[in-house]
């Protein structure tokens, strides 16, 4: 699907679509993920101006100062500082990395009520500043929160995207690569649907060295160590909980995902990633954010990549979408209509 994309700052000024010659980013939420992302952006020199915002103002100030001091050991030059809502007006990208407490939660969806309340307080303030850029949502449950940000902001759906199933897909590629003894970059595999327990793997689309995975299973069963694809899917969807249990949070992987999305926007690279985006007729579904491969440019989402799924895969994918739709309905019912920008 092609979006009629409006340009962000550079294109508005010049009338042409191009990479951002000067980029201004804001990260809201300086917890484990926000700090890891800020570090990625700093060492990667992925923006010219970086604003760090947190409800604990001293924390945002301290992180900004620490990052600025690190610039003394690199050739990068960035303006990094702690800011407030007035700084959003001319930002190109605002990243939501705020989080609800995960103590006692069983799934990401258990965080929805608290997370949606936090986000519903932040987004209107961002929009009141005059912000007209792109939202990147990391906050879990990311599909539902991305949908909420779209509704609250009034921005077109191609300007609001979540990290989606990119991290799940990276985990899948590494699992398959380790099992088969190949470089993960030789594996093409993506998870679709919810960034959560109902996600699915379209095995018909998985390739290794451009060879279909189904053919590899047939030709080299001994090499795959009796792999059970159903157990693979469960392992990929559950590994985050194991990491959180062991270290308290996941941060490096998801920060790398967000940094890659930002790089695609800033450099207008037409990068394909499985991010959380709005469906508008793809797979016969609409009005739901979910993880599917999409082309990312400086205007946001340019188009979606649709797979020709096998019948049972499509049914499994639609089950995940129906779950997300129910979650969205329950979430939106808790907000008054006047709070939303349609």
SS3 of residue 192 by DSSP: strand
140 assigned binding-site residue:
yes
90 assigned binding-site residue:
no
Strands (E) in the chain, as ranges, are 24-28, 49-53, 79-82, 93-96, 134-137, 160-162, 187-188, 207-208, 211-212, 271-280, 286-297, 300-304
- The span from the CA of 161 to the CA of 4, in Å, is 16
SS3 of residue 131 by DSSP: coil
Q: What are the Cα distances from residue 304, in Å, to 281, 297, 301?
A: 11, 12, 8
85 assigned binding-site residue:
yes
Angle at 274 between CA 100 and CA 127, to 5 degrees: 50
Q: Which helix (H) or strand (E) holds 158?
A: none
DSSP-based helix, strand, coil % in the chain, nearest 5: 50, 20, 30
59 assigned binding-site residue:
yes
288 assigned binding-site residue:
no
82 assigned binding-site residue:
no
SS3 of residue 136 by DSSP: strand
Whether the CB-CB separation of 190 and 205 falls below 8 Å is answered with: yes
138 assigned binding-site residue:
yes
Task: Quickly list DSSP for 19-47.
Answer: --SS-EEEEE--SHHHHHHHHHHHHHT--
- The span from the CA of 262 to the CA of 318, in Å, is 29
274 assigned binding-site residue:
no
6 assigned binding-site residue:
no
The catalytic site residues sit at 195
33 assigned binding-site residue:
yes
17 assigned binding-site residue:
no
92 assigned binding-site residue:
no
Whether the CB-CB separation of 223 and 178 falls below 8 Å is answered with: no
Whether the CB-CB separation of 327 and 146 falls below 8 Å is answered with: no
- The span from the CA of 59 to the CA of 35, in Å, is 10
197 assigned binding-site residue:
no
108 assigned binding-site residue:
yes
267 assigned binding-site residue:
no
Annotated binding-site positions for substrate = 108, 140-143, 168-171, 250
Annotated binding-site positions for NAD(+) = 33, 54, 59, 85, 138-140, 163
Annotated binding-site positions = 33, 54, 59, 85, 108, 138-143, 163, 168-171, 250
């Amino acid at each position: 699907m092609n979006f009629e994309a409006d340009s962000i700052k550079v294109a508005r000024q010049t009338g042409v679509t191009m990479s951002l010659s000067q980029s201004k980013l804001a990260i809201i939420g300086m917890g484990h993920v926000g700090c890891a992302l800020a570090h990625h952006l700093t060492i990667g020199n992925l923006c010219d101006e970086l604003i760090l915002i947190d409800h604990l103002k001293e924390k945002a100030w301290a992180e900004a100062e620490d990052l600025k001091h690190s610039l003394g050991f690199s050739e990068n030059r960035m303006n990094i500082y702690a800011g407030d809502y007035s700084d959003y007006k001319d930002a190109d990208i605002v990243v939501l990395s705020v989080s609800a407490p995960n103590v006692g939660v069983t799934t990401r969806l258990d965080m929805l009520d608290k997370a949606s309340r936090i986000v519903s307080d932040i987004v209107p303030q961002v929009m009141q500043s005059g912000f007209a850029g792109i939202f990147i949502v990391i906050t879990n449950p990311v599909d539902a929160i991305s949908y909420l940000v779209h509704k609250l902001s009034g921005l077109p759906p191609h300007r609001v995207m979540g990290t989606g199933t990119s991290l799940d897909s990276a985990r899948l590629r590494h699992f398959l690569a380790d099992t088969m003894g190949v470089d993960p970059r030789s594996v093409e595999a993506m998870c679709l649907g919810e960034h959560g327990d109902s996600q699915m793997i379209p095995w018909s689309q998985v390739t290794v060295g451009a060879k279909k995975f189904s053919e590899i299973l047939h030709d080299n069963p001994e090499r795959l160590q009796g792999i059970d694809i159903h157990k693979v899917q469960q392992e990929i969807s559950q590994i985050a909980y194991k990491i959180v249990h062991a270290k308290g949070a996941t941060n490096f992987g998801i920060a790398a995902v967000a940094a890659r999305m930002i790089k695609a926007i800033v450099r207008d690279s037409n990068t394909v990633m499985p991010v959380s985006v709005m469906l508008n007729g793809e797979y016969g579904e609409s009005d739901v954010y979910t993880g599917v491969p999409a082309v990312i440019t400086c205007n946001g989402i340019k188009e979606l990549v649709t797979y020709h799924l096998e019948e049972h895969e499509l049914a499994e994918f639609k089950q995940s979408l129906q779950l997300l739709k129910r979650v969205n309905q329950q979430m939106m019912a808790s907000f008054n209509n006047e709070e939303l920008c349609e």
